[in-house]
Structure 1
């Protein structure tokens, strides 16, 4: 017997004969359940078990994602993997590639001594937390789902190459996001480079261009000639690691800006009392809580503020501008600055969100060891009207987030603000009225050419830790006499 159910009313805890299918959409998750001896009784139990759950629904398309890690080298890959697995509910994870055959002695102290073994050890720990995690969001994939997609990516096997080719060639119309976490000495050749070499050789320029058009990169650059020398360019590449500014590597700044944000305490909130996954977070990195690779997937977390196709907009891992090493190509890196708290610098593009993102990490670590009613969950932000609006000089724009809700029934706090750096308008900033209420407004300023203005509402609950989600409204400001367009 095969049953399909809405995600808000289905238990994924059907371990006795039940299987969870790989999801394709953000608003509905279909599960196939093969009823064993317990039959209908198991189904009724599962419906009751999840009757209290609330699954946040995002209007954004759910992303497909493959990561490649040289776990077994710098232990910060394992730090990032702990956080990554806690966000496994947010994407359709197509693969986890471990490209280091043997762990590096001295620096890496994991008892597993192969890269694949290290990644699978973390997946196993995630699996031990899964029965709790799935109570908070039924989209968390099972341990077996991730295990089947965890492969070695060194020269002795083609498993990673085959995995990548199958994912890109899939009939799924969505592009594939890919992240290399900074392969270094002792790791194998990047597997996407291996794939692109093969595709160019076997399919020729036309097939290569078609294949490459299906990719989006949030990644270090490990692709050799495919980055800039073989046309066409990647449709989008966001380098979340670079550039180095004022002697500071961007991927090193994550530690300095987030480690203790919001009062986060690694020992209290992760290493102890939070289950086997948090306990595997290593501490012997050059920077405390280094997590140098976390930006690659933090960029893809659907917070309501970000759009992965818009790197200049800014979100939790920072704000990105054109990569000057590759002019005229859709390549971006972390070279932007934000004015925040009276100071303008690059750190602010991340620091302004640090408390929110660490509170979110802390809450998900809580989910590893608690049921739904014992933990906090992020608000669901709803703003009336479109997220993109065309407006005219002098028009009063009303923005209403009053339909936002909290899964735990907590009161919500509202903070409206203009994000000037994300838009093109550089004139005097309009005054936002009622910035701490559900409904805010502004009067459109004068412009002589068409400009954009970004307004964001941050909605925060009153739980512990306090959790925040967002909605961005992009206003297109029309000058006098311009065609009205649609609204």
Structure 2
């Protein structure tokens, strides 16, 4: 009897252990599933409607996958003509297609809720100091970043980075709550002053600076023929829903969407590890951001890192005008950029090349000492190149294009880390277009 009692007691104990173990495993599984189902918090800053129509394509893509994200802001940060109305145009199309999207998947946002998230950012590019005055867009970035959430706010920048710079200037404490993925390259050229402000004053920002990697999205030498450029539009988009009918208006349907990698980064891969594999590319940590300061003119003997900040300082008369006033023009590559008075007879202008090049420039001004200055420079791969004395020193969470030679597509650094996933991404997107038949 004694032995039987011990056995009975043991069996009860073993049963309790099994039950506890079962519920423990179930709890862990439930937590894992909950984590997998958490929608990333996303705020888009875009120059949609501005100099490049590919943002319209990227916006259509975003809304077709909107059920996978918690969209918290759509900030118009334009170059030239882009405004909030351009976001609203795509939302109107989305509203027409929404019944078909909702028939296939849950969680799509209500169009009016998206309209309320559209905010106008700053319109002019930043002056030499890198920031100006708060905008509706920069204030909205701050408001979203300060929400009580266990998740970071992903700020995906598809154009100028001025509103991010302004938000960081006005509320630097938001750095702990945001992660920035910026499509740089040409956008860096336009936003060079805002970028310089961020790199110099907020080097501890969590940042993915994609200057060339994103180009793997539309450079597709190894893609099957039906996925290339306009062929994809013809095979998978043409005539499908209101958004499909509108798509032809941007690059005549040719797939570009150079900003979409920032969103795709959150779709497939471990977003906490920029060095790993993802649909939005793979990156490397950088500790310096290339900058070269020229005291006077540069010459063809001056070799600099592509995408690096180039800064020319000139001496001239002391003027009775506020520092940071634009007072001369810097012309290069057929485009003109404002130069600034920075006080005490000193003048400066910044520029960033968007590709390896041999560049030449000239200055134009009513101030005789600043008129007719000329020079050249040579920008070369890879970025950020060897450390230099003028470089910005960055923190531990700044990432950029991988410099490995085997990851280049032509001259585009790191582009193969995206192009390798292009087929999988486009076929996944094709399934959603099929929903809109």
Fold shared per TM-score above 0.5: yes
Partner of 1:350: 418
Partner of 1:74: 52
- Deviation of residue 282 (structure 1)? 4.5
Partner of 1:62: 39
TM-score scaled by length of structure 1? 0.51
- In the TM superposition, 1:367-382 aligns within 5 A as 367-369=435-437
Quick check: which one's strand share is greater? 2
Provide closer, same or farther for how the CA distance between residues 286 and 258 of structure 1 changes in structure 2, counting only shifts above 3 A. Answer: farther
Partner of 1:139: 107
Provide closer, same or farther for how the CA distance between residues 283 and 60 of structure 1 changes in structure 2, counting only shifts above 3 A. Answer: same
What is the SS of the residue equivalent to 1:311?
A: coil
- Confirm whether residue 191 of structure 1 aligns to residue 163 of structure 2: yes
* Contact 1:76/1:285 (8 A) holds in 2: yes
Separation (CA, whole Å) in 2 of partners of 1:259 and 1:65: 31
Partner of 1:205: none
For 1:394-418, what per-residue CA distance to the aligned partner results, in whole angstroms no more than 9, with x for missing partners?
Answer: xxxxxxxxxxxxxxxxxxxxxxxxx
What is the SS of the residue equivalent to 1:62?
A: coil
* Contact 1:77/1:293 (8 A) holds in 2: yes
Partner of 1:239: 209
- In the TM superposition, 1:74-153 aligns within 5 A as 74-100=52-78, 103=81, 114-153=82-121
- Deviation of residue 58 (structure 1)? 6.2
What is the SS of the residue equivalent to 2:247?
A: coil
- Deviation of residue 228 (structure 1)? 2.5
Q: Could you tell which deviates more after superposition, 166-175 or 56-65?
A: 56-65
- Deviation of residue 166 (structure 1)? 1.4
- Confirm whether residue 307 of structure 1 aligns to residue 270 of structure 2: yes
- Deviation of residue 136 (structure 1)? 1.8
What is the SS of the residue equivalent to 2:99?
A: helix
Partner of 2:198: 227
Partner of 1:434: none
Partner of 1:396: none
Separation (CA, whole Å) in 1 of partners of 2:147 and 2:400: 29
Larger Rg: 2
Provide closer, same or farther for how the CA distance between residues 159 and 347 of structure 1 changes in structure 2, counting only shifts above 3 A. Answer: closer
- Deviation of residue 316 (structure 1)? 1.3
For 1:19-51, what per-residue CA distance to the aligned partner results, in whole angstroms no more than 9, with x for missing partners?
Answer: xxxxxxxx99xxxxxxxxxxxxxxxxxxxxxxx
Structure 1: 5+ residue stretches without partners:
1-26, 29-55, 104-113, 184-188, 200-207, 243-248, 370-487
Quick check: which one's helix share is greater? 2
What is the SS of the residue equivalent to 1:224?
A: helix
Provide closer, same or farther for how the CA distance between residues 282 and 197 of structure 1 changes in structure 2, counting only shifts above 3 A. Answer: farther
- Deviation of residue 118 (structure 1)? 1.7
- Confirm whether residue 263 of structure 1 aligns to residue 226 of structure 2: yes
Separation (CA, whole Å) in 2 of partners of 1:360 and 1:231: 37
What is the SS of the residue equivalent to 2:201?
A: coil
* Contact 1:337/1:347 (8 A) holds in 2: no
What is the SS of the residue equivalent to 1:227?
A: helix
Separation (CA, whole Å) in 2 of partners of 1:351 and 1:155: 33
* Contact 1:130/1:368 (8 A) holds in 2: no
* Contact 1:77/1:291 (8 A) holds in 2: yes
- In the TM superposition, 1:271-310 aligns within 5 A as 271-282=237-248, 285=251, 288-301=254-267, 303=268, 306-310=269-273
Provide closer, same or farther for how the CA distance between residues 74 and 258 of structure 1 changes in structure 2, counting only shifts above 3 A. Answer: farther
* Contact 1:261/1:354 (8 A) holds in 2: no
Separation (CA, whole Å) in 1 of partners of 2:217 and 2:73: 25
* Contact 1:258/1:354 (8 A) holds in 2: no
What is the SS of the residue equivalent to 2:166?
A: helix
Provide closer, same or farther for how the CA distance between residues 62 and 262 of structure 1 changes in structure 2, counting only shifts above 3 A. Answer: farther
For 1:326-377, what per-residue CA distance to the aligned partner results, in whole angstroms no more than 9, with x for missing partners?
Answer: 455311122155979xxxx9444223322110001111112234xxxxxxxx
* Contact 2:213/2:281 (8 A) holds in 1: no
* Contact 1:168/1:215 (8 A) holds in 2: yes
Separation (CA, whole Å) in 1 of partners of 2:398 and 2:178: 13
Separation (CA, whole Å) in 1 of partners of 2:165 and 2:279: 28
Structure 2: 5+ residue stretches without partners:
1-29, 125-133, 185-190, 290-393, 408-412
For 1:90-141, what per-residue CA distance to the aligned partner results, in whole angstroms no more than 9, with x for missing partners?
Answer: 11000111123863xxxxxxxxxx5222211111101111111112221111
TM-score scaled by length of structure 2? 0.57
What is the SS of the residue equivalent to 2:200?
A: coil
Separation (CA, whole Å) in 1 of partners of 2:197 and 2:176: 12
Provide closer, same or farther for how the CA distance between residues 100 and 142 of structure 1 changes in structure 2, counting only shifts above 3 A. Answer: same
Separation (CA, whole Å) in 2 of partners of 1:224 and 1:290: 24
Partner of 1:316: 279
Separation (CA, whole Å) in 2 of partners of 1:89 and 1:262: 30
Provide closer, same or farther for how the CA distance between residues 328 and 144 of structure 1 changes in structure 2, counting only shifts above 3 A. Answer: closer
Partner of 2:398: 331
